[in-house]
Structure 1
Amino acid sequence: MIFNQSLRRELSFTTGGVFLVLITIMITTLVIRILGFAANGTVNPQDAFVLIALATLGYTAVLLTVSLFVAVLIVLVRWYKDSEMIVWFASGLSVTNLIRPILQFATPLIVVIALLALFVWPWSNRESTLISQRFQQRDDVSMVTAGQFKESAKSPRVFFIEELDIEKSEVKNIFVADSKNGRMNIAVAANGYIQNSEGGEKSIILHNGRRYEGQPTQPDFRILEFDDYSTKIRSKESLDPPPRDREKSVMDLLNDPNPQAKNPNQAELLWRIGLPLMALGLVLIAIPLAYVNPRLGNYTAMFYAVLLYLIYSNLLNLTQNFVSQGKISVLVGIWPIHALALCMAFVLIRNRINPSLKWWQRQLPTIKGRK
Structure 2
Amino acid sequence: MISLIDRYLLQEVFKALFAILLILLLVLVSHSFIGFLQQVAVGEVSADVLFQLLGLQIFRYLARLIPPAFFFAVLYAVGRMYRDSEMIALESCGVGSLRIFRSILLAGLPVSLLVAWLSMGVQPWSSQLIARIISGQTGQSVELAGVSPGRFNEYSKGDLVFYVESISESDHRMHNIFVQTRQGDDLGLVTAATGFQRVDPETGDRFLVLEDGFRYKGQPGRADYVVSEFGAYALRIGEAVPTVGNRPRNSLPTHVLLASQDIYDRSEFQYRLSPALGVLAFALLSLPLSRSLPRQGPFGRLALAFLIYTIYLSLQGVSENWMKDQVTPAWLGMWWVHLSMGGLALIMLLPDRVWYRRWRRRLRWTRA
TM-score by length of 1: 0.78
The residue correspondences of 1:88-237 to structure 2 (distance < 5 A) are 88-134=90-136, 144-151=147-154, 156-165=159-168, 172-179=175-182, 182-188=185-191, 191=193, 203-206=209-212, 212-215=216-219, 217-221=221-225, 229-233=231-235
Aligned to 2:324: 324
The structure 1 residue matched to 2:71, chosen from 47, 57, 69, is 69
1:246 maps to 2:266: no
Higher CA-based Rg: 1
CA contact (8 A) 2:161 2:180 kept: yes
Other structure's SS at 2:136 match: helix
The whole-number CA distance in structure 2 between the counterparts of 1:51 and 1:176 is 30
Q: 1:45 to 1:309 in 2, by over 3 A?
A: same
1:347 maps to 2:328: no
Aligned to 2:294: 294
Letter in 2 for 1:303: A
CA contact (8 A) 2:83 2:292 kept: yes
CA contact (8 A) 2:270 2:334 kept: yes
Shift of 1:268: 1.2
Q: 1:233 to 1:80 in 2, by over 3 A?
A: same
Q: 1:352 to 1:176 in 2, by over 3 A?
A: same
Any gaps of 5 or more consecutive residues in structure 2? 362-367
Other structure's SS at 1:330 match: coil
The whole-number CA distance in structure 1 between the counterparts of 2:257 and 2:356 is 47
1:265 maps to 2:265: yes
Q: 1:100 to 1:147 in 2, by over 3 A?
A: same
Other structure's SS at 2:332 match: helix
Shift of 1:282: 0.2
Other structure's SS at 1:326 match: coil
CA contact (8 A) 2:63 2:119 kept: yes
Other structure's SS at 1:205 match: strand
Other structure's SS at 1:162 match: strand
The whole-number CA distance in structure 2 between the counterparts of 1:100 and 1:130 is 44
CA contact (8 A) 2:47 2:146 kept: no
Q: 1:46 to 1:166 in 2, by over 3 A?
A: closer
- Residue by residue over 1:187-207, the C-alpha shift from the partner in whole angstroms, topping out at 9 and shown as x without a partner, is 445x457799x998995431x
Letter in 2 for 1:218: R
Aligned to 2:54: 52
Shift of 1:348: 2.2
Shift of 1:47: 3.4
Letter in 2 for 1:150: N
Shift of 1:80: 1.1
The whole-number CA distance in structure 2 between the counterparts of 1:171 and 1:40 is 17
Aligned to 1:81: 83
Query: How many pairs align?
Result: 348
Q: 1:343 to 1:210 in 2, by over 3 A?
A: closer
- Residue by residue over 1:116-161, the C-alpha shift from the partner in whole angstroms, topping out at 9 and shown as x without a partner, is 11112222222223323339xx888776544444346699444444
Letter in 2 for 1:220: D
Letter in 2 for 1:133: S
The whole-number CA distance in structure 2 between the counterparts of 1:129 and 1:199 is 14
Aligned to 1:368: none
Q: 1:233 to 1:92 in 2, by over 3 A?
A: same
Shift of 1:115: 0.7
Q: 1:152 to 1:231 in 2, by over 3 A?
A: farther
Letter in 1 for 2:80: R
The residue correspondences of 1:18-37 to structure 2 (distance < 5 A) are 18-37=20-39
Q: State percent identity of aligned pairs.
A: 24
What's the C-alpha RMSD, in Å, of the aligned pairs? 3.9
Other structure's SS at 2:224 match: coil
TM-score by length of 2: 0.78
The whole-number CA distance in structure 2 between the counterparts of 1:314 and 1:66 is 14
The whole-number CA distance in structure 2 between the counterparts of 1:285 and 1:36 is 41
- Comparing 281-290 with 343-352, greater Cα deviation is found at 343-352
Letter in 1 for 2:222: Q
Shift of 1:327: 1.9
Aligned to 1:14: 16
- Residue by residue over 1:46-73, the C-alpha shift from the partner in whole angstroms, topping out at 9 and shown as x without a partner, is 4333333222221111211112111111
Aligned to 1:303: 303
Q: 1:255 to 1:204 in 2, by over 3 A?
A: farther
- Residue by residue over 1:244-279, the C-alpha shift from the partner in whole angstroms, topping out at 9 and shown as x without a partner, is 3222221332345xx7xx222111111111211111
The whole-number CA distance in structure 1 between the counterparts of 2:164 and 2:34 is 32
CA contact (8 A) 1:140 1:233 kept: no
